[in-house]
A and B are shown apart, each in its own frame.
Chain A
Amino acid sequence: MFSSEAKKRISLVLKRYPIKSSALLPLLNLAQEEEGFVSEDSMREIAKLLDLTPPKVYEVATFYTMLNLKPIGRFHLQVCKSLMCALVGSETLLKWIDQELGIKPGETTQDNMFTLNTVECLASCGTAPMMKVNNDYFEHLTHEKVCQLFEDLRTTGKCSLATGPFRWPDPGMLR
């Protein structure tokens, strides 16, 4: 299940805490990093590693929104829909995404490239409309930028429009 590289990281992680179960979230995050989602197999393996029962691991995993318990598309589009983003256009952003990819929240494109979800505040409220794609933030989005983003992700798997280290207002914000 876990790669040997991951196993090395796990032994380091375990040293950080006086009790094993504290490593549960770090390991669930790691499992998702490796496979794109948290599989039942990895939950069983984590349970074994931490002397927990599999249901206990499952109970915790279902609490945290970021953990996907089913496989999703290669790029996870997470649009913030909380009030502050909604004031400045998160609904419009969802429309652009629908126009370009033909998906609504909860859906995945047929080629399995993109999964779209709406999420609650991502601490980007002053630089909205925004979305997170996998680990990267994309802020001050326009229809044009959204098109470029999808194009770049499709062709290179990366996009230079990703923002951070965060500072706003700051003219030099783009990475």
Chain B
Amino acid sequence: MAAFEKILLKNMDMPDYSGSLKDYERAGGYRAIQNALGKTKPGDLIDIVKRSGLRGRGGAGFPTGVKWGFIPQDHPGPKYLCCNADESEPGTFKDRQLIERDPHQILEGIILACYAIGARTSYIYIRGEFALGAEILEKALDEAYKVGYLGTNILGAGFDLDVYVHRGAGAYICGEETALLESLEGKRGKPRTKPPFPAIAGLYGKPTVINNVETLANIPHIVNRGPEWFMSIGSPPKSPGTRVFSLSGHIARPGNYEVPMGITIREMLEDFGGGMSDGKQLKAIIPGGASASFLTSEHLDVKLDFEGIASAGSMLGSGAITFMNEGTCMVWAAERLLEFFHHESCGKCTPCREGSMWLLQILHRMEAGHGKHEDLDLLLKLCGNIAGQTVCAFGDAEIAPIVSTLQHFRHEYEAHIRDGCCPYRTEQAELVSTGSSQRH
């Protein structure tokens, strides 16, 4: 594919780049706040982000500038920005790299976002497991406070901002924006019913924006180089910019690769992932993290942008792409994902809480060779009763692996039922108990 310039992973490509304040500044960092704070009006900054076409990198792909624009400008009390660093979607490991290798890029994005929406306090909600990431962010915050990029009257622009790191403690659902807010308020991380939306009543009932790490990391670059520049990259007008894709599964070179949106899955696999490993054939692709529907080897020429993946029947989600080879059992894969969803359901809605257990039981039975023909309809019926019936998007996510594997690989389910065993496993894999209790 044609040459392109990295945006977010560019600094860390420099030899000896440590992610320190000094290194970040040497790479041109903190220029955006120097140029914007006190010089660009907050409303104009929102407009710049709107015109750039930037869409959220956390999963839903909502236009960032539009989201910021929902915050009531004249609201008298506090407003908040939460940086979503909960990164728990299976397959996704990009935010971890952005946090641990270039923390100031994220902080500068946070400062700009807070300036634009008028927030004086921001929390970085980071998943509890990222102990090193939290430590690195704390250190970066210390550095930024020392030179006056945070605190009171930043750069003499009359703008005050405090940023805090808040660690979670192991719960996937806290990545859902309203569950994140509940968790931050010291409660169980259960999503809220919407409306009201966080822009009106978010953290502590105040107007709040929640943005993903990678989304915020893009902001300084958009401010420095202009919305037209950003709009010219990737797959405009709907999917401008790059994405940091996390590649995993049966490929030669798994890892994080930043590319302009709009390249095909085939280019991603062959030019970056190094092709399939061990000379095996590709069978299935999950293009957007565990919540995205499975695609097949027939989808290799689908474009990696929001519309491309959506029109193929899946979603770009968190930008995690998992490749599975011909030896992978699709019933087992769906079962594995359902174990995840069952463990992580917050328990608030009956269809999600009970449905995940029933679905998992059927898949267990199927994979162990005790499936019945009626089970296939039962699976679909159960999925139909979960779709759209839940407080948060988790409900739709948990059925995606089942509905899509049944759509593309129904014959594998049928083989399990017919043969009374899993055709892909010589020895039946022991089901791994988690050793930790359900949260509901």
Which residues of A are interface residues toward B (Cβ below 8 A)?
16, 18-26, 28-29, 50, 52, 59-60, 62-67, 81-84, 86-88, 91, 94, 105-107, 116-128, 132, 135-137, 164-169
Contacts of B162 in A (CB 8 A): 16
Contact B100 A125 (CB under 8 A): no
Contact B93 A124 (CB under 8 A): yes
Per the bound structure, the CA–CA distance linking A126 and B170 in Å amounts to 20
Contact A28 B169 (CB under 8 A): yes
Contact partner of A123 (CB less than 8 A), chosen from B19, B127, B340, is B127
B246 to chain A, nearest CB (A): 6
A interface footprint on B11-36 (CB within 8 Å = 1, 0 otherwise): 01000000100000000000000000
What are 20 of the A-B contact pairs (CB < 8 Å)? A21-B185, A22-B185, A25-B166, A65-B439, A86-B336, A87-B249, A91-B429, A105-B434, A120-B172, A120-B340, A120-B343, A121-B88, A126-B248, A126-B256, A135-B131, A137-B132, A167-B12, A167-B97, A167-B100, A168-B254
Contact A81 B132 (CB under 8 A): no
Per the bound structure, the CA–CA distance linking A23 and B183 in Å amounts to 10
Contact A87 B322 (CB under 8 A): yes
Contacts of A25 in B (CB 8 A): 166-169, 183, 186
A interface footprint on B219-249 (CB within 8 Å = 1, 0 otherwise): 0000000000000000000000000001111
Contact B131 A165 (CB under 8 A): no
Contact partner of A118 (CB less than 8 A), chosen from B167, B247, B435, is B435
Contact A125 B246 (CB under 8 A): yes
A interface footprint on B340-373 (CB within 8 Å = 1, 0 otherwise): 1001101000000000000000000000000000
B288 to chain A, nearest CB (A): 13
A59 to chain B, nearest CB (A): 7
Contact B436 A83 (CB under 8 A): no
Known contacts A117-B434, A167-B101; decide if A88 and B129 are in contact (CB<8 Å): no
Contact A83 B336 (CB under 8 A): yes
Contact A18 B188 (CB under 8 A): no
Known contacts A28-B169, A65-B171, A166-B97; decide if A125 and B92 are in contact (CB<8 Å): yes
Contacts of A168 in B (CB 8 A): 93, 97, 254-256
Contact A87 B186 (CB under 8 A): no
Contact A59 B188 (CB under 8 A): yes
Nearest A residue to B253 via CB reads: A169
A interface footprint on B121-152 (CB within 8 Å = 1, 0 otherwise): 00000011111100010000000000000000
Per the bound structure, the CA–CA distance linking A83 and B344 in Å amounts to 14
Per the bound structure, the CA–CA distance linking A111 and B140 in Å amounts to 40
Let me know if B305 is at the binding interface, CB within 8 A.
Answer: no
Known contacts A67-B170, A165-B136; decide if A120 and B128 are in contact (CB<8 Å): no
Contacts of B168 in A (CB 8 A): 25, 64
Contact A122 B129 (CB under 8 A): yes
Contact A125 B91 (CB under 8 A): yes
Contact partner of B290 (CB less than 8 A), chosen from A83, A127, A164, is A83
Contact A88 B249 (CB under 8 A): yes
Interface size class of B (residues with CB under 8 A): 35 or more
Per the bound structure, the CA–CA distance linking A116 and B436 in Å amounts to 10
Per the bound structure, the CA–CA distance linking A132 and B167 in Å amounts to 17
Contact A121 B89 (CB under 8 A): yes
Let me know if B95 is at the binding interface, CB within 8 A.
Answer: yes
Per the bound structure, the CA–CA distance linking A122 and B168 in Å amounts to 13
Contact partner of A120 (CB less than 8 A), chosen from B97, B248, B344, is B344
Known contacts A84-B249, A121-B340, A165-B100; decide if A63 and B204 are in contact (CB<8 Å): no
A interface footprint on B54-98 (CB within 8 Å = 1, 0 otherwise): 000000000000000000000000100000000111111101110
Contacts of B89 in A (CB 8 A): 121
Contacts of A167 in B (CB 8 A): 12, 97, 100-101, 256
- A20, A25, A81 — most chain B CB neighbours (10 Å): A25
Contact A125 B320 (CB under 8 A): yes
A interface footprint on B168-202 (CB within 8 Å = 1, 0 otherwise): 11111000000000011111110000000000000
Contact A64 B169 (CB under 8 A): yes
Contacts of A24 in B (CB 8 A): 186
- B136, B247, B255, B436 — most chain A CB neighbours (10 Å): B436
Contacts of B189 in A (CB 8 A): 63-64
Contact partner of B433 (CB less than 8 A), chosen from A82, A88, A105, A122, is A105
Per the bound structure, the CA–CA distance linking A83 and B291 in Å amounts to 12
B82 to chain A, nearest CB (A): 12
Nearest A residue to B335 via CB reads: A83
- B171, B204, B434 — most chain A CB neighbours (10 Å): B434
Contact B169 A29 (CB under 8 A): yes
Per the bound structure, the CA–CA distance linking A165 and B256 in Å amounts to 14
Contacts of B4 in A (CB 8 A): none
Let me know if B250 is at the binding interface, CB within 8 A.
Answer: yes
Contacts of A121 in B (CB 8 A): 88-92, 172, 290, 340
Contacts of A65 in B (CB 8 A): 169-171, 436, 439
Nearest B residue to A24 via CB reads: B186
Across chains A and B, which 3 residue pairs bring their CB atoms closest together, nearest first? A106-B435, A66-B170, A21-B186
Per the bound structure, the CA–CA distance linking A94 and B432 in Å amounts to 9
Nearest A residue to B290 via CB reads: A83
B102 to chain A, nearest CB (A): 10
